[in-house]
Amino acid sequence: MLNFEKYRALTFDCYGTLIDWESGIADALRPVMRAHGIEVSDAELMELYAEIERAGKSGEYRRYREVLRATVRGICTRLEFVPAMSEVECLAESLGSWQPFPDTVDALLRFQSRYRLCIISNVDDDLFAGTARTLNVDFDYIVTAEQAGSYKPSHNNFALAVERMGIPKERVLHVAESVKLDIEAAKSFGMDAVWVNRHAGLEREGSASGNPSDGDSGADLEVPDLKTLAELMGL
């Protein structure tokens, strides 16, 4: 078990960890599919999204709004239809209304009673501003991909967060759902990490984040949700 007393701050991935991104993505894309007579499951949509969005963040940095537009176009190309311009914007325009998981807000308030809180998210400033209103928590620090000029798993994003907090990375605990983008990156950067495996116990080969199905994440601790983590911390 981790010694939670040694940490002064908690850093969080946002989408997939705090925000139910899979429901948000499916809700945004489903009307586009229906409008063009395309029948595709939410699971298939998520797999397409994950593959195309991941490719869109590789190479030279570009803002996440542009990545989301390219992702919608890529999904539509794969499904062999051309979206309207308004449909291309569906992910970016809806992102700020994607909802927190049921345990998120209460857990964040409990964490805030002991630790400084920081967001490290692969998103633009204005996009996260919409999300922040749904979380009802004033984070002490917010580090976006736009500010870092890079996307996780780059160490640059973690380094910027640690620099702004002014806290040694050994005293910061990273909490995230994505193994590839967050857990492995935080660990290789020198931070301890908690894997929030919200799909634990479900019969699937891993989430659209490419997470392992065998629980071998390399994290220092695995929990099924943030409520469980808060309870383990005695909060």
What integer pLDDT is reported at residue 199 of this predicted model? 86
Angle at 40 between CA 83 and CA 210, to 5 degrees: 100
CATH number corresponding to 21-96: 1.10.150.750
Q: Per-residue DSSP letters for 172-232?
A: EEEEES-IIIIIHHHHHHT-EEEEE-TTTTSSSS--TT---SSS----SEEESSHHHHHHH
197-211 residues labelled b (16+ CB within 10 A) or e (exposed) = bbbeeeeeeebbbeb
Residue extent(s) of CATH 3.40.50.1000 domains in the chain: 4-20+99-232
Give 10-residue mean pLDDT values along the chain (235 residues).
95 98 96 96 94 94 98 97 96 97 98 98 98 96 98 98 98 97 98 94 48 72 98 97
Evaluate whether 116 touches 136 at the Cβ level (below 8 Å).
no
Q: What is the pLDDT of residue 204?
A: 39
Q: Tell me which DSSP letter residue 89 carries.
A: T
Where are the CATH 1.10.150.750 domain residues in the chain? 21-96
* Catalytic entry in 13, 20, 103, 192: 13
C-alpha dihedral, 29 to 27 to 52 to 135, nearest 10°: 140
Residue-level pLDDT at 212: 58
Provide CB contacts within 8 A for 145, sequence distance 6+: 61, 64, 121, 122, 123, 124, 151, 152, 157
Distance CA(68)–CA(49), nearest Å, equals 9
CATH number, span 4-20+99-232: 3.40.50.1000
Please report the pLDDT score of residue 1 as a whole number. 77
Please confirm, yes or no, whether 13 is among the known catalytic residues.
yes
